[in-house]
Chains A and B, each alone.
Chain A
């Protein structure tokens, strides 16, 4: 699973930057074509739900998705054999 932010729905309130326990979301700098600074993802491979959702078979954490007032945060399935970074947490 990987995180994705829907640029058409996001209104740039930056609530996700406050609630994520891993602080994956960062305030965006670049304006999109609607004039909204959509938050950026900072090392999204640390997200617990991204890593372990399929292993546990249930939703883990998910606070960002519940908090997002504009329903802009989703998890999408990865393509098979998509290259991705591995986060090691001690």
Chain B
């Protein structure tokens, strides 16, 4: 189909495990990028280290596979040197929230014109399933064998508080919504942050009763709460279910942005 020409087809099939949702997110992002009508030589995909960061290797445009956590720092450099380029950053939760947390909040604060797609699988998948800053409470991982005791990061709230222009959260089940959200993010001047919760059958699912991919996708589907519905529940004074996560467009505003294409 149309966005197929963005793939480096000689590299496919890719290295991700069977059932990993990262490929879904690449599909959605590329479908949105294709709708923007950008030229391949003016588009740069940047990534750090991790499962998610293998993604630009399968895309035909120029890409940067950088050091752990520093994807946003390198992307800032690309955008400052070449403001005419369109910069899209693929990153994971361990890359963005743990080691690159400081780069993340400062990229939000500067409001640089780029789009960040965070594939949040809630664990360090590539290195053997260690707990990450987004591992939910009581979830098992190889570094939290009795259940995670620390409350997780809410990356969308963090990005909103730090000043990003567009913040959205979807899951790998909501492909059409994700495609639209990425498209809005690409169109928005300033920092756009799209968090995507994704299934990881190998590292996360194996320890948390989601060994079957379908079970984890079903969990993502049934535990996502639309933002409009959350707001309605709060307006009516009803309790918001605690085990559910909010999906939808969290923030859209028009702060002064940096590095916008002249």
Contact = CB atoms under 8 A, between A and B. Distances in A.
A44 interface: no
Contacts of A75: 1
Contacts of A31: none
Contacts, number: 67
B217 interface: yes
A75 B214 CA distance: 24
B113 interface: no
Contacts of A70: 12-14, 16, 23
Contacts of A19: 173, 175
Interface of A is mostly: loop
B9 to A, nearest CB: 9
A32 interface: no
A63 B12 contact: no
A43 B179 CA distance: 28
A28 interface: no
B21 A69 contact: yes
Contact of B176 (A12, A63, A71, A72): A63
A9 B13 CA distance: 5
Which of B4, B7, B175, B214 is packed against the most chain A CB atoms within 10 Å?
Answer: B175
The 3 closest A-B pairs by CB, nearest first: A69-B23, A11-B18, A13-B19
Given A66-B179, A75-B1, 18 more contacts: A11-B18, A13-B19, A14-B213, A18-B214, A19-B175, A62-B1, A65-B1, A66-B175, A66-B176, A67-B24, A68-B23, A68-B24, A69-B16, A70-B12, A70-B13, A71-B27, A72-B13, A74-B4
